[in-house]
Amino acid sequence: MRHSGHQPDYFLITIIALIIIFGLVMLSSASSVVAFQKFGDANYYLKKQLISFVLGIFAFFFMSKIDYRYWKRFAFPMMIITIILLISVFIPGIGTGLLGAKRWVTLGPIFFQPSEIVKVTFLIYLATWLEKRGEGIKDISAGFLPFVIILVIIAILVMSQPDLGTMIVIAIIAMSSYLVAGAPVAHIFWLGLGAAGSIFALIKIAPYRMERFTVFLNPELDPQGIGYHINQALLAIGSGGLLGLGLGHSRQKFNYLPQASSDSIFAIIAEELGFIFVVLLIFLFLLFMFRGFKIARAAPDKYGKIMAAGITAWFTFQALINIGSMTSVLPLTGIPLPFISAGGTALVVSMAAIGILMNISRQTKEERSFWR
């Protein structure tokens, strides 16, 4: 392992710490009603998230201490692990279904979502593959087509669960990495066009996705039926006003707003804390994006640039998609809000990814002060 050149980006660590702590506070409020109804303990989901947070701290420090280049030697095994993890959800006795989807794996007392782990393992493989290709990624046969084949394989496995939201995030990670690696803009254009066509086709063949898209085009359509979720989310956001109803005083969390502690937690934040806190939260994610891409630009090698850019794009766009879907700027996709929504696997994996980003920040070409 190589020794770090200088101090990590403490400003970015502070940003993530603020988001996570804020998320724990909001999860405590958003999940209290459902937790008490299901388990007789208003803090049930908070306690689970705190356990994941502690595990995430260990994952963060572990990954931040290991030279990010070390993972290149495990790139191919990680690709195999990626495929095995995605297939494991379909194995009887291991895979667990919930609400019509098979996205979870149960191994004794361990319950996790493989697609969250895949975001890291696939990025490590992709960054290694793109670096080895060098200038070859600009070639159709040596770069573009193999990249598309790899991405399609992962997309098919993810969509078989089915999980359109995760597939979109993985596609964003992959395309961002491909662009930073030096791919021609024309390749990105064709990838974007193909992705848009694929998403449209997936919407057309699945009635529930078509309903979500129809409601996106017309939010007032059937407010008690297919438009119920987005209308309740908009009602929660609108009820918050400038200063909110007060922490813990949400009305929508009383079984009116679906998935109040996970995918819809942004609406609860807006309802309880109001527009000002919502703007501050979005500002924190934008600050994270700025610092993350700054680390990518100053990374000492192409592999570091790709990894840093992929991790930054992952959390930035996932946050923007979640917020966009809750405000009806984008169709509902079922994507959680990073570091805030309930989800143990997501939190641990996310903190591990931030650890990798921190290790890269220690080895950038120039050392920065806390603010610079």
What are the pLDDT digits (tens) for 55-74?
999 999 999 999 999 998 88
Helix axes 10-30 and 344-362, enclosed angle (nearest 10): 170
Confidence label for 9 from pLDDT (cuts 50, 70 and 90): confident
Q: Which of 169, 325, 329 is nearest to 259 (CA)?
A: 325
Amino acid sitting at position 251:
R
User: For 85-130, how does the pLDDT look when each residue is reduced to its tens digit (9 = 90+)?
Assistant: 788 888 877 776 665 566 777 766 677 778 888 889 999 999 999 9
pLDDT at 215 over 70: no
Show the tokens assigned to 51.
């356990």
3-state SS assignment for residue 267: helix
Q: What is the pLDDT of residue 181?
A: 86
**Range with the poorest average pLDDT among 149-153, 293-297, 329-333:** 329-333
CA dihedral 288, 246, 346, 57 (to 10 degrees): 70
CB 263, CB 101: distance < 8 Å: no
What's the rounded Cα separation, in Å, for the pair 95 and 88?
6
Q: What is the pLDDT of residue 255?
A: 81
Q: What is the pLDDT of residue 54?
A: 95
Q: Which of 51, 14, 15 is nearest to 348 (CA)?
A: 51
pLDDT at 1 over 60: no
Show the tokens assigned to 288.
């994270």
Confidence label for 216 from pLDDT (cuts 50, 70 and 90): low
Mean pLDDT, residues 187-212 taken together: 74
Q: What is the pLDDT of residue 114?
A: 80
Ramachandran assignment for 113, one of left (phi > 0), alpha (psi -120 to 50 degrees), beta (any other): beta
Confidence label for 209 from pLDDT (cuts 50, 70 and 90): low
3-state SS assignment for residue 179: helix
Q: What is the pLDDT of residue 306?
A: 94
- Percent of the chain exceeding pLDDT 90 equals 36
Confidence label for 323 from pLDDT (cuts 50, 70 and 90): very high
Show the tokens assigned to 113.
């979502």
Q: What is the pLDDT of residue 287?
A: 95
What's the rounded Cα separation, in Å, for the pair 56 and 217?
39
Based on C-alpha coordinates, what's the Rg of the chain? 20
- Percent of the chain exceeding pLDDT 70 equals 87
CB 129, CB 75: distance < 8 Å: yes
Does residue 39 or residue 218 have the better pLDDT?
39
Q: State whether the Cα torsion 115-119-121-126 is positive or negative.
A: positive
Confidence label for 353 from pLDDT (cuts 50, 70 and 90): very high
Does residue 20 or residue 368 have the better pLDDT?
20
pTM reported for the whole predicted model: 0.87
Confidence label for 217 from pLDDT (cuts 50, 70 and 90): low
Confidence label for 3 from pLDDT (cuts 50, 70 and 90): very low
